[in-house]
Amino acid sequence: MDKVKLEYKIPKNKTIEYNDTVIEVKPVLSLAEQSFLINKYVEDYFFSDEKIIKYPEYDFFGAECNLINYVYQTCTNIDIEDFENDLYVDVKLWKDVISKIINFEDFRKKLDVIILDIKEEKALEKSVGEILNKASSELIRIINKFGDIKPDDISKAKDAGLELLKEFEKSSMNNVVSPISTNSKKKKKKE
């Protein structure tokens, strides 16, 4: 099979009309722009110091508003300098803009997968971290009392250790099944 050389041609800008204003929209998010938007969204979603809504752990609302802002800046000729905040929640304008970006839906799927992966990592770290934190606190308490230890204290420490092991067994960390262990169990059943 003969190889052919491909040359990327930048598609022409599309236009939309909003309140008698013609807006140009760049129809493709480049790889660099997608990387930039994903990094900014992750930063705004998980690590923002200036949350728009203060109480949830993650700032979904702020990340979404900033995503709209960044897309308008990178893909349109909209002047953001005097942009009214209410335009960030104008669903019609947003849908009109992203409908002209042919790879926006694919980009959004990638972004959503990345956010879900990070959330799962954080949840796993939390559950294992809590168990290890309890275990280390209990161990430090026992070591500090080591000089005054009595047989009854050893029994209490044993019970506390068993309780921590039970908690660990219930944690999501222990419920993760490796494909290797699953396959070896299947093989043993066949034999």
**Residue 103: per-residue pLDDT:** 97
For residues 146 and 159, give the distance between their C-alpha atoms in angstroms, rounded to a whole number: 17
**Residue 55: per-residue pLDDT:** 76
Q: Strand, coil or helix: what is 47? A: helix
**Residue 177: per-residue pLDDT:** 43
**Residue 148: per-residue pLDDT:** 63
Q: Provide the whole-model pTM.
A: 0.66
**Residue 171: per-residue pLDDT:** 58
H, E, C per residue of 115-179:
HHHHHHHHHHHHHHHHHHHHHHHHHHHHHHCHHHCCHHHHHHHHHHHHHHHHHHHHCHHHHCCCH
Q: Strand, coil or helix: what is 184? A: helix
**Residue 176: per-residue pLDDT:** 46
For residues 97 and 26, give the distance between their C-alpha atoms in angstroms, rounded to a whole number: 9
- Tell me the pLDDT of the chain (191 aa) as tens digits: 999 999 988 899 999 999 999 999 999 999 999 999 999 999 999 988 888 787 778 999 999 999 999 999 999 999 988 888 888 889 999 999 999 999 999 999 999 999 999 999 888 877 766 677 677 777 776 666 666 666 676 677 677 777 766 766 665 444 444 343 344 444 444 44
